[in-house]
Amino acid sequence: MDYVMGLEESREFYKMLLDMLEYLIPKYEKDGKSHLRIGIGCSGGQHRSATFVNMLYKDLSEKLDYKITKFHREIGDKTEV
């Protein structure tokens, strides 16, 4: 995680991704949608994508009042809040 987020490009991408989701998620709810699935991938699925998923899970769980589940297919880790 430190390596991935140590890169300026990663921090910029993550901020744009988080901003977009914070904007879109309430609109999905307003449109009557009850589920939203977000998939994030990279070449190996164990570093970059796992880092972004873990950070999104933490940040969105703290900011939004929704049930959030994360699953790392390549790592086999599943968590719900």
| Confidence at residue 71, expressed as pLDDT on a 0 to 100 scale | 82
According to DSSP, the residues that pair with 80 across neighbouring strands are 69
pLDDT in tens, 33-54: 989 999 888 776 456 888 999 9
Mean pLDDT score of the chain = 85
Amino acid residing at 70: K
Q: What is the pTM of this model?
A: 0.78
Would you list the DSSP string of 26-59? Answer: HHHHHTT----------SSSSSHHHHHHHHHHHH
Estimate to the nearest angstrom the gap between the alpha carbon of 59 and the chain centroid.
8
